[in-house]
Amino acid sequence: MKLRTHLAAASALAVLAVACAANAQAPAAQAPAAPAQTAAAVDPACSALTGLRLAHTRIDAAVAVKAGDRQPIDAFGLPALPAENAYCRVSLTLTPVAGSEIHSEVWLPAAGGWNGKFAAMGNAGFGGSLGPPRLAMRQTIARGYAVAATDMGHTEPGADGKDASWALNQPEKIIDFGHRANHVTAVAAKAVIAAYYGHAPVRSYFQGCSDGGREALMAAQRYPDDFDGIVAGAPGAAWTHLMTTFAWSWKMSHQNPDSRLKSANLARIQSAALAACDELDGVKDGVIEDPRICRFDPATVLCSNDASEGCLTPAQLEGLKGLYGGPRRGVTGASLYPGFAPGGEAQRSGWDLWITGDEAQHPDFARSFFANFVFNQADWQLSQFDFDKDFDTVRERMAHVTDSDHPDMSAFKASGGKLLMYHGWNDAALPAEGTIQYFENVRETMGEAQTDAFARLFMVPAMGHCFSGPGPNTFDSLGVLDAWVEGGPAPDRIVASKYTNDLAQLLNMPTGRALSTRPLCAYPAVARWKGEGATNDEANFECVVPPPPTTKS
C-alpha cells in the first residue's frame, strides 16, 4: 500500500493528529535491541519494573532508551526514528477477562525529565497495532509527559487498519475495542508510573483523533474518573451511524458505475464550490470558513449547463447529492447522519482516497465492520445492506459497545474533567457536521452554560481528516487543554498555523516555515477578518457568533 494510503486509512493523534493505518506487530518484538544488562546499567529503576506485580497484568519488558536511540514506529512505512529524550519503555500484556489479551506500552521520561503528568494516546481505525500511537507518544514524551497506548486488544491481520476479521465471533475482543482496552491501560499505566517515580501523576490526559476521538469520548462517558482532561479530534463517536455512512458512500459512488466521480469531476466540483462560497467570510483564500452557509448548487456543473472538463452526468450528480446529503432510510427518507461538506472534494487525502477512488477506504471499513462485528458472516457484502431494517439491527447489536455519542456527560463534568473537541470541515473520512450535531445534543441535554463550563468545540476550516489542508491546521490542543485544566480560562480562541510541510511538522521533524496563522474559534463562533491588515495574520481576525445557518434547500 502506498504511503499516502497509509497516512489516511485511519488516524492517531499527536499534538495534533496523524491520519494513518498501521502495520500490525507484536509489542514484545518491538523493543529496541539493547541488552538487559545495558538497560539496567543506564536505568536500574527501569529494569526493576519487570518485577512489578499488578492484577491481570504481565510486564513483558522494561528497557531504557537513550536520547538518539532509534525507536521503531511500525507505521506508515517509516523507518525507526531517533528518540529525542531518554526514557524507560515498558511493554505490558493485560488480560482483564478470559478471551481478552491487550498489548500496551508505557514510556516514562528519565529522572529529571518528567513534568509530573500522564497522557494516553488513542489508536487508529480498528486498532490492532501500537504503530500509529507511537508517533503521538514520541512527540508527547519529548514535552515531559509519561505516555501510554494500546493495540485495542487484538493484532490486526491486514496491517492497514481496516480489517476487522479479528472480531468475528469474538465478543470480548469487541468490548476491548469498544471501551475496555484504554481503561485498563490507563489503570495499569498509572500504577507503573507510581512505581517508577514514587508517586502517581498529578494530572492525567487522553488525546485521540478519528477512532481515537471516539475512544476519547468513550473515556469521558464510561470512565469519567480516568482523566482530568480529554482531547477528542474528529471523533467517530456515532460509530454505527458512521459505518452506515460508509455503506452509503459505497452505494452513492460505487454500486452504479455510472455514478463514479473521477479526479477531473472532483476538481471541477471543488472549483465550483469555492467559486460560490470562498469569499463569504470576506477573504478569498481557497478556504470555506463555514460550509453550512454555502449555497453551492452542484447542478451548475451538469454537462448541459457547464461543458468544462469534469462536468457531471445526471447519474454523477445524483450520487454527489447523496454524498452531500448523507445516508437516509430507504422507505421514509429520514436522515441517519449528516453528509460531507463542499469545498474539499479534490483535496489531497480527500474524496478520492476515502469515498470515490478505486481503493477508497469507506467500503472496506464498512464491509469488514458489518461482516465481523454485526452479522458474523465473513463473506457478507455491502450489497446486502438494507438502510431500514439493517440500520436498526446494527444499532441494537453494537451501539451500546462501540458508540460514544451519549449526550449526558454530567459525571465527567462532576469529576472536574475538561473536554476539548475539534473537527476539520474538509474531513473526507468522517462528516464534520456530525460532531456539531453531537455537541449540540450535549448542550441541549446539559444546558449551554453547564456544557460551556467544561467543554469546547473548535471547527477547523478546510482541514482534512485530523490534519492537513489548504488553511491553518496545526495547533497545540494538548497544551491548550493542559493550561485549562491547570486553572487557566476556558479557551475561546486557539491560534492555528499553516506550514509549508504540514506532515513534517506533525512528525516533529519540521523542514518548512509557517505561511499563515488564523484563529480557531470556540463553537458556535467563527473567525472573521476585521477588514484591514494582512489576511495571513491571526491578529487581524476576530471571533464572532453568526446567525444560525438556515436549512439547505
User: Could you list the active site residues?
Assistant: 210, 427, 465
Task: Confirm if 471 and 285 have CB atoms less than 8 A apart.
Answer: yes
How many alpha carbons fall within 13 Å on the CB side of residue 530? Answer: 12
CA–CA separation, 389 and 392 (whole Å): 5
Contact partners, residue 407, CB within 8 Å, separation at least 6: 438, 441, 442, 444, 445, 446
CA–CA separation, 141 and 1 (whole Å): 29
CA–CA separation, 390 and 382 (whole Å): 11
CA–CA separation, 506 and 517 (whole Å): 16
Report CA dihedral (205, 209, 215, 217) to the nearest 10 degrees: 70
Core vs surface per residue 430-466: b (16+ CB within 10 A) or e: bbbbbbbbbbbebbeebeeeebeebbbbbbbbbbbbb
Cα–Cα distances in Å, from 472 out to 134, 162, 501, 518, 538?
25, 29, 12, 6, 10
CA–CA separation, 6 and 262 (whole Å): 21
List 232's β-bridge partners, or say none: 208, 421
Task: Provide the residue count of the chain.
Answer: 553
Task: Confirm if 108 and 146 have CB atoms less than 8 A apart.
Answer: yes
CA–CA separation, 244 and 399 (whole Å): 12
CA–CA separation, 438 and 424 (whole Å): 15
φ and ψ at 401, to 5 degrees?
A: -105, -45
Q: Any idea which residue has 463569504 for its cell? A: 280
CA–CA separation, 317 and 458 (whole Å): 31
CA–CA separation, 515 and 536 (whole Å): 7
Task: Confirm if 526 and 281 have CB atoms less than 8 A apart.
Answer: yes
